[in-house]
Amino acid sequence: MALRCKWPLGLLLLIVSSPLWAAKKVDLDYHVQLLPLSNQAQVSVTLAEGSAVRSLDFDLGVPGNYSDFKADGHWQLTADPQHSRGLWHPAPGKASLSYRVQLNHQLKNGSFDTRMTPKWALFRGEQLIPPASLDQQDGTELVSRLEFELPKGWKSVETAWPRIGKNRFRIDDVSRLFDRPTGWMLAGTLGSRRSTLGETEVTVTAPQGQGMHRLDVLTLLTFVWPQVQAVFPRNPPKLLIVGAGSPMWKGSTAARNSIYLYSGLPLVSENGSSPLLREVVQVFSGINDEPGHDWIGEGLSEYYAIELLRRAGGMSDERYQALQHKLNAVGKGVTHLRGAQTTPPMVARAVMLLQALDREIRLQTHNKRSLDDVSQALMRMDKVNTQSFIQLSESVLGGRSEVLDSPLLR
Residue 69, domain member (yes or no): yes
Beta-strand ranges (E) seen in 21-91 are 24-35, 40-47, 53-61, 66-71, 73-79, 84-90
| 173-177, 178-182, 240-244: which is most confident | 240-244
- Position 47 scores a pLDDT of 97
363-396 pLDDT tens trace: 999 999 999 999 999 999 989 999 999 999 999 9
Residue 3, domain member (yes or no): no
93 and 129 in a single domain? The answer is yes
pLDDT-based confidence at residue 80 (cuts at 50, 70, 90): confident
Region for residue 292 given its phi and psi (left: phi exceeds 0; alpha: psi -120 to 50; beta: otherwise): left
- Position 81 scores a pLDDT of 79
138 and 223 in a single domain? The answer is no
53 and 164 in a single domain? The answer is yes
Residue 112, domain member (yes or no): no
30 and 176 in a single domain? The answer is yes
User: Phi then psi for 115, rounded to 5 degrees?
Assistant: -160, 145
Domain of 332?
287-409
319-370 pLDDT tens trace: 999 999 999 999 998 999 987 678 899 999 999 999 999 999 999 999 999 9
The yes-or-no verdict on residue 193 having pLDDT over 70 is yes
The yes-or-no verdict on residue 264 having pLDDT over 60 is yes
Q: What percent of the chain has pLDDT over 90?
A: 81
Query: Sheet harboring 190-197: ordered strands across?
Result: 190-197, 200-207, 238-242, 258-261, 252-255
Residue 113, domain member (yes or no): no
174 and 293 in a single domain? The answer is no
The lowest-confidence range among 47-61, 184-198, 267-281, 299-313 is 267-281
Q: Count other C-beta atoms under 10 Å from residue 27's C-beta.
A: 14
What is the per-residue DSSP string for 43-57? EEEEESSGGGEEEEE
DSSP 341: P
Last residue of a domain, one of 282, 306, 325: 282
Residue 13, domain member (yes or no): no
381 and 310 in a single domain? The answer is yes
328 and 274 in a single domain? The answer is no
- Position 8 scores a pLDDT of 53
What is the per-residue DSSP string for 220-287? HHHHHHHHHHHHS----SEEEEE---TTB-SSEEEETTEEEE-TTS-SS-TTS--HHHHHHHHHHH--
Output the pTM of the full model: 0.90
152 and 203 in a single domain? The answer is no
Whichever domain contains 219, its CATH number is 1.10.390.10
- Domains: count for the chain: 3
The lowest-confidence range among 195-204, 265-274, 388-397, 398-407 is 265-274
The yes-or-no verdict on residue 269 having pLDDT over 50 is yes
144 and 172 in a single domain? The answer is yes
293 and 326 in a single domain? The answer is yes
Whichever domain contains 176, its CATH number is 2.60.40.3650
Peptide bond into 237 cis (omega under 30): no
Whichever domain contains 319, its CATH number is 1.10.390
Last residue of a domain, one of 282, 316, 337: 282
The yes-or-no verdict on residue 3 having pLDDT over 60 is no
Average pLDDT over the chain, rounded to whole? Answer: 91
145-171 pLDDT tens trace: 999 999 999 999 999 999 999 999 999
Residue 120, domain member (yes or no): no
- Position 126 scores a pLDDT of 95
Residue 19, domain member (yes or no): no
353 and 337 in a single domain? The answer is yes
- Position 21 scores a pLDDT of 53
Last residue of a domain, one of 135, 152, 180: 180
CA dist., res. 94 & res. 83, Å (int) = 30
351 and 204 in a single domain? The answer is no
Residue 136, domain member (yes or no): yes
- Position 270 scores a pLDDT of 81
The yes-or-no verdict on residue 9 having pLDDT over 80 is no
Buried b (16+ CB within 10 A) or exposed e, 358-371: bebbeebeeeebbb
